[in-house]
């Protein structure tokens, strides 16, 4: 709950005991106001002078606190009570669970956690311990510990956000392998084997057209898309589409999401006519089922704008990118990564139109936001540095392009698979600009 300093003094004593109330944030508009009363109430998380500051801390706290207590269980053939989260990890075996990881993934996860828990003096030492002493304990020991590990892993599995799953990939793999070893050591005839805390999750393969699998195929498809395996991504999104077309009404938002995902794969494969076809299907559903300023519409406008940009239909592209930017600016704080993405897309468009000063202006705005809101080795930063390098290249200012290309390659090597098409492009651009120095 957010309360003013004046209202809080009379209200908080009456509601502080309520179990529904978790946190209080006090907005102090006049710095001279008396705030000593807040120290008497444990649920008061801080005193803030602007609503933007409250937004940032609420977002930070929500990311830390949101978690489910999930256990993993191995059962017989009974599918009752099946939890989709564990099925998600099962299907991930062919991607994340079978990938080989290096120490850099652990370092990157620790670095990300330090940013996420930057104000949590309890978690920061545990994050350092995790990075330095991870191998001294079992993966399930780390998961079962009252710390950031179970919070982040459970949220990643439950929300099924591909980027978070990738970030936790090596830990998810290690937990999964430890569970397999524990299972093999148990009596094979037992019908239920609980590994760790919380609700039970059944391990059993679903029928190929089970509705749970549509979302799972889609999210695994997003992982393959992110790592540059576009044919596999397309195959998985098609499976998702077939299930959803059978089980959902034609204007369901989940169908729009699937069409969107397939359109994104076609963009990355350079198949822009097909990409436009699927993105228009997605946009049509979203326009019918969502409010006009919904962030999913901004997402669609941005992607369709990119398609028109690649097809050299610049006026249509600019109109769509501006729509996307307006929606995002109306909904999000000014340093949100989605606003940076919109600036990046507009910058690329101006670059293609030969308007290099405008292109640099938008790319630099994007870079400022990303440097504040993303980890230093995030792949979106590599893309922005590469875009800045391209603009300088097109202006034949190769000496200025060179350091941007170098940063793109450096970040790409730390955040992308070795054979990712984007990393290959960054290396190609760096090699080419060195010849022009």
Residue 295 predicted with pLDDT over 60: yes
Confidence band for 28, pLDDT divided at 50, 70 and 90: confident
CA distances from 434 to 103, 211, 216, 288, 393 (A): 31, 52, 44, 50, 11
Dump pLDDT digits (tens) for 325-341: 999 998 888 888 889 99
pLDDT at position 80: 40
**88 in the same domain as 111:** no
pLDDT at position 229: 87
Average pLDDT, stretch 90-111? 68
pLDDT at position 106: 83
344 phi and psi, to 5 degrees?
Answer: -60, -45
**279 in the same domain as 249:** yes
**211 in the same domain as 176:** no
Average pLDDT, stretch 93-110? 70
Dump pLDDT digits (tens) for 358-403: 999 999 999 999 998 888 888 899 999 999 999 999 999 999 999 9
The whole-model pTM stands at: 0.60
Q: Is residue 195 part of a domain?
A: no
Residue 191 predicted with pLDDT over 50: no
Who has greater pLDDT, 277 or 102?
Answer: 277
Q: Is residue 324 part of a domain?
A: no
* Structural domain ending residue among the three candidates 289, 318, 350: 289
pLDDT at position 204: 45
Least-confidence region, from 21-35, 224-238, 284-298, 340-354: 21-35
* Structural domain ending residue among the three candidates 73, 98, 123: 98
What whole-number distance in Å separates Cα of residue 383 and Cα of residue 261? 20
Average pLDDT, stretch 41-53? 74
Confidence band for 34, pLDDT divided at 50, 70 and 90: low
Spatial CA neighbour of 393 closest among 355, 429, 359:
429
pLDDT at position 39: 67
Q: Is residue 369 part of a domain?
A: no
**84 in the same domain as 111:** no
Q: Is residue 124 part of a domain?
A: yes
Q: Is residue 68 part of a domain?
A: yes
Q: Is residue 191 part of a domain?
A: no
Least-confidence region, from 159-173, 236-250, 373-387, 422-436: 159-173
Dump pLDDT digits (tens) for 58-99: 766 565 444 333 333 333 344 344 344 444 445 555 566 666
Q: Is residue 82 part of a domain?
A: yes
**92 in the same domain as 30:** yes
pLDDT at position 207: 64
Q: Are 174 and 139 in contact (CB under 8 A)?
A: yes
pLDDT at position 422: 92
* Structural domain ending residue among the three candidates 98, 116, 149: 98
List the domain range (segments joined by +) for residue 142. 103-186
Alpha-helix residue ranges (DSSP H) falling in 17-80: 51-65
Q: Is residue 309 part of a domain?
A: no
**89 in the same domain as 12:** yes
Average pLDDT, stretch 127-152? 80
**207 in the same domain as 281:** yes
Which of 110-119, 208-217, 246-255, 282-291 ranks highest by mean pLDDT? 282-291
What whole-number distance in Å separates Cα of residue 368 and Cα of residue 364? 6
What whole-number distance in Å separates Cα of residue 407 and Cα of residue 422? 13
Six-digit token pair at 294? 């919904």
Q: What is the CATH number of the domain that holds 214?
A: 1.25.40.10
How many independent structural domains does the chain possess?
A: 3
């Amino acid at each position: 709950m957010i309360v003013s300093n004046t209202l809080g003094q009379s209200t908080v004593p009456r509601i502080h005991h309520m179990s529904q109330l978790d946190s209080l944030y006090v907005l102090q508009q006049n710095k001279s106001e008396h705030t000593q009363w807040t120290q008497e109430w444990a649920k008061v998380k801080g005193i803030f002078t602007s609503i933007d500051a409250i937004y940032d801390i609420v977002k930070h706290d929500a990311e830390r606190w949101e978690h489910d207590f999930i256990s993993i269980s191995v059962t017989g053939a009974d599918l009752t009570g099946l939890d989709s989260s564990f099925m998600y990890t099962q299907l991930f075996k062919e991607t994340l669970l079978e990938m080989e990881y290096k120490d850099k993934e652990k370092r990157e996860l620790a670095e990300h956690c330090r940013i996420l828990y930057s104000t949590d003096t309890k978690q920061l030492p545990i994050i350092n311990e995790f990075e330095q002493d991870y191998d001294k304990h079992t993966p399930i020991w780390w998961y079962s510990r009252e710390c950031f590990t179970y919070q982040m892993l459970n949220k990643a599995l439950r929300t099924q956000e591909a980027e978070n799953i990738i970030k936790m990939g090596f830990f998810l793999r290690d937990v999964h392998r430890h569970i397999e070893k524990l299972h093999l050591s148990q009596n094979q005839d037992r019908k239920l084997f609980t590994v760790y805390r919380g609700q039970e999750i059944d391990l059993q393969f679903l029928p190929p057209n089970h509705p749970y699998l549509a979302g799972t195929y889609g999210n695994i498809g997003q992982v393959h898309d992110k790592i540059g395996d576009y044919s596999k991504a397309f195959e998985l999104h098609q499976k998702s589409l077939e299930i959803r077309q059978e089980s959902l009404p034609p204007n369901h938002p989940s169908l729009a999401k699937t069409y969107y995902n397939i359109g994104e794969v076609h963009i990355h494969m350079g198949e822009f006519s097909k990409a436009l076809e699927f993105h228009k299907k997605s946009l049509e559903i979203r326009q019918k089922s969502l409010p006009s300023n919904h962030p999913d519409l901004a997402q669609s406008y941005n992607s369709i704008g990119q398609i028109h940009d690649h097809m050299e239909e610049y006026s249509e592209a600019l109109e769509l990118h501006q729509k996307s930017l307006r929606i995002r600016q109306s909904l999000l704080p000014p340093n949100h990564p989605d606003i940076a993405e919109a600036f990046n897309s507009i910058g690329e468009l101006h670059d293609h139109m030969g308007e290099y000063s405008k292109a640099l202006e938008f790319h630099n705005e994007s870079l400022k936001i990303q440097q504040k809101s993303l980890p230093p080795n995030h792949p979106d930063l590599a893309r922005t540095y590469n875009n800045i390098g391209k603009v300088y290249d097109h202006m034949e200012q190769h000496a200025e392009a060179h350091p941007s290309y170098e940063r793109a390659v450096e970040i790409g090597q730390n955040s992308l698979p070795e054979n990712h098409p984007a990393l290959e492009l960054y290396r190609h651009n760096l090699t080419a600009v060195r010849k022009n120095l």
